[in-house]
Amino acid sequence: MSAIEVILVDHLDRPTGKMEKLEVHEKGLLHRAVTVYVFNSRQELLLQRRASDKYHCGGLWSNTCCGHPYPHESTQDAAERRLREEMGMEVSLTPMFELSYNLPLSNGLTEHEYGHVFFAVCDRLPQLNPQEADAFDYRSLATIERQMRQQPEQFTPWFLHTFPRIPAHLDAFPA
């Protein structure tokens, strides 16, 4: 199996090259990413617990799914692909906002990403890919916020960083 390449970008999300995914995280280089938030009709967010043997942040709770577009793949296509691969869900996604962050991970890697955030509404239960996630839960935003304050170590760094932006964008989401 060949190495997975990601798209290196500048601070305006303009492509500057491509590089193997692990190397990008080792060097902390800015690259393009996608993040998906699926809500049910009660506005509860579908969380996943990352599989314990993931190369970083295994066993931590996070947003519905995330990943990286392949070179020459649109962010929309990448978000839809990752939702299928991780959660076994085919759902119409809406692009909501973009953000950038540079977050150190506990194992010496860095998440330095220009992220494209997508929302969706779906009441179906996911069919987890055990290589990606080992548990899921629909939780209210208030519950997640409280759990993040009380036990932040249970959540991925990027989810801790991005989650506070979600309520404002959810109000504008045409669900």
Q: What is the set of active-site residues? A: 66, 113
Angstrom CA distances, 85 to 101, 106, 127, 146, stand at 24, 25, 10, 29
Q: How far apart are CA 173 and CA 175, in angstroms?
A: 6
> Which are the contacts of 168, defined by CB distance < 8 A and separation ≥ 6?
none
Q: How far apart are CA 149 and CA 130, in angstroms?
A: 28
Closest CA to 31 of 70, 58, 62: 70
